[in-house]
Amino acid sequence: MTLPLAGIKILDLSRLAPGPYCTMLLGDLGADVLKIEEPFGLAGRRVEQSQGTRDTGFVGSTTVSERSVAFDALERNKKSMTLNLKTEEARRIFYRLTEKADVVVEGFRPGVVKRLAVDYETLSSINPGIIYCSISGYGQDGPYRDMVGHDVNYISVAGALGLIGWPGSRPSIPHNILADFAGGGMHAALAIMVALWAREKTGQGQYLDIAMTDGVLHLMASLASSYFATGHVPGKGNTRLSGAVPYYNIYETKDAKYISIGALEPWFYANLCRILGREDLIPYQNAYGQKAAEIRSIFQEVFRTKTRDEWFALLRQTDVCVGPVYNFDEVFSDPQIIHRQMVIELEHPVVGTVKQVGISVKLSKTPGQVRDFAPYLGEHTEEVLLSLGYDPENIGNMRDKGVI
């Protein structure tokens, strides 16, 4: 089977969630991803992936280590090589890898790659076709350029955090989905694909500056357009899509669980009212104030008469926009999730059968594939060096000197 990105070589210098998620997306679709990692113990600290600890063992390490690697979806379909880029010898190796690479991905603070001499200017002089993607919180320029941060900070600046929650409550932190994964990793993968296509037409590589804060704000393009047009300031629970109306809301059910209703269109709202036995409310979908509060109260009372799953079974058959609000452990047994192969089972040679999240991009003729489990730190260092022409004695000397 031909994978769509087969033959694309990516050097991944990233550490935290956005970069690894980006290269996971590309690796699932066939890209050859080589992680360039810091030799363990070199700096006296290791960073952890925000979705689990990056394994620091080698082949033959403990069962716990084997298990953490087997279940690590973010690092699947990749190889790992250790290089101490603070040494000239390691940089020479990286430059040789750059000669045949298509993409470099990095997620350091602005200025770090320049100090390490693995920045775009340096690498593009070696390979003019290189596509170099930097992922950072605020971008490579501007007054916040050098600020440290994490997802919660970026969604704060972009305005997303202030919109999440109920009126009068403190903002609710939505895990690290918006900035790290959507605003960062997914935007970076999109930018890389566009740059690869542009290179097909121009023959030239380019530099990609991905700021997670930019990405989060871009995800709210519709809200921003509405604000620019009307001057209305969206806030927690005061828009149609954040809980201000009874027909697009969340309701508690008989079993103390929740059901989500999204009856935006008039015909869906009418269907909802009929199945709830309140056809008299159909003319009042766009009511506000006291009438809207009354309708919400009626809906709350009715939804408490059945369990979540009873309501879902009933409403899904009557052309009503509905969804059960799952606890996370319920998601992976949902029949739609299973049918769409968003939970996959893989056979690990040591751990046995493991589950991972599936591939979300469904291509009919060139689908993605999970080909390899996450690598151990430095698992492929020797293999890569041998392919570059280094002999075992040179490799041993480099290991002794802390180059690898």
pLDDT digits (tens, 9 = 90+) for 199-223: 999 999 999 999 999 999 999 999 9
Domain shared by 130 and 254, yes or no: no
145 and 270: one domain?
Answer: no
| pLDDT tens profile 286-335 | 998 999 999 999 999 999 999 999 999 999 999 999 999 999 999 999 99
Q: Which residues of 258-295 are buried (b: 16+ CB within 10 A; e: fewer)?
A: bbebebeeeebbbbbbebbeeeebeebbeeeeeebeeb
Could you tell me if 150 and 276 lie in one domain?
no
Residue 133 banded pLDDT, cuts 50, 70, 90: very high
Assess whether 273 and 378 both reside in one domain: no
Residue 232 within a domain: no
Q: What is the pLDDT of residues 105-114, one digit of tens each?
A: 999 999 999 9
The pLDDT value given to residue 2 = 87
Q: What is the CATH number of the domain that holds 271?
A: 3.30.1540.10
Give me the pLDDT at residue 218, please.
Answer: 97
Does 153 lie in the same domain as 82?
Answer: yes
Identify whether residues 320 and 366 lie together within a single domain. no
**64-88: per-residue pLDDT in tens?**
478 888 999 999 999 999 999 999 9
Query: Is residue 61 predicted with pLDDT exceeding 80?
Result: no
Question: Mapping DSSP to helix (H, G, I), strand (E, B) and coil, where does residue 240 land?
Answer: coil
Residue 63: pLDDT band by 50, 70, 90 thresholds? very low
Residue range 119-124: average pLDDT?
A: 98
Distance between CA atoms of residues 204 and 196, nearest Å: 9
Put residue 389 in one of left, alpha, beta given phi > 0 → left and psi -120 to 50 → alpha.
left
State pLDDT tens for residues 28-59: 999 999 999 999 765 444 444 333 344 433 33
Q: Are residues 350 and 379 both part of a single domain?
A: yes
CATH of the domain at 147: 3.40.50.10540
Residue 143 inside a domain? The answer is yes
- Determine which helix (DSSP H) or strand (DSSP E) holds 252, and give its type and residue range: strand 248-252
Has residue 193 got a pLDDT over 80?
yes
Domain identity same for 375 and 275: no
Using DSSP, state whether 132 is helix, strand or coil.
strand
Averaged pLDDT, 4-8: 97
* Angle, in degrees to the nearest 10, between helices 88-99 and 392-401: 130
Model pLDDT, residue 248:
97
Domain that holds residue 316: 248-331
Q: Is residue 4 part of a domain?
A: no
Per-residue pLDDT tens for 175-191? 999 999 999 999 999 99
3-state secondary structure string, 48-100?
CECCECCCCCCCCCCHHHHHHHHCCHHHCCEEEEECCCCCHHHHHHHHHHHHC
**Residues identified as active-site:** 150, 180
Residue with more model confidence, 51 or 252: 252
Note whether residue 238 is domain-resident.
Answer: no
Give a yes or no: residue 197 inside a domain. yes
Tens digit of each residue's pLDDT (9 = 90 or more) over 257-293: 999 999 999 999 999 999 999 999 999 999 989 999 9
The neighbour count for residue 169, using CB atoms within 10 Å, is 10
Alpha carbon distance 33, 75 (integer Å): 10
Q: Are residues 311 and 186 in the same domain?
A: no
Asked whether residue 243 is assigned to any structural domain, the reply reads no
Domain count, the chain: 2
Q: Is residue 81 part of a domain?
A: yes
End of a domain among 280, 310, 331?
331
State pLDDT tens for residues 94-107: 999 999 999 999 99
- Contact criterion met (CB below 8 Å) for 11 and 103: yes
- Claim to verify: residue 203 and residue 303 sit in the same structural domain: no
Q: Are 50 and 86 part of one and the same domain?
A: yes
* pLDDT tens-digit series, residues 346-401: 999 999 999 999 999 999 999 999 999 999 999 999 999 999 999 999 999 999 99
> Is residue 129 domain-resident?
yes
Among candidate residues 331, 354, 369, the one where a domain is terminated: 331
Predicted local distance difference test score (pLDDT) of residue 40: 75
Cβ-based neighbours of 267, under 8 Å, separated by 6 or more: 319
- Domain final residue, candidates 331, 351, 382: 331
At 35, phi and psi to the nearest 5? -80, 130
Cβ-count burial 22-33 (b if 16+ within 10 Å, e if not): bbbbbbbbbbbb
Residue 172 shares a structural domain with residue 204: yes
Find, among 246, 110, 131, the residue nearest to 191 by Cα.
131
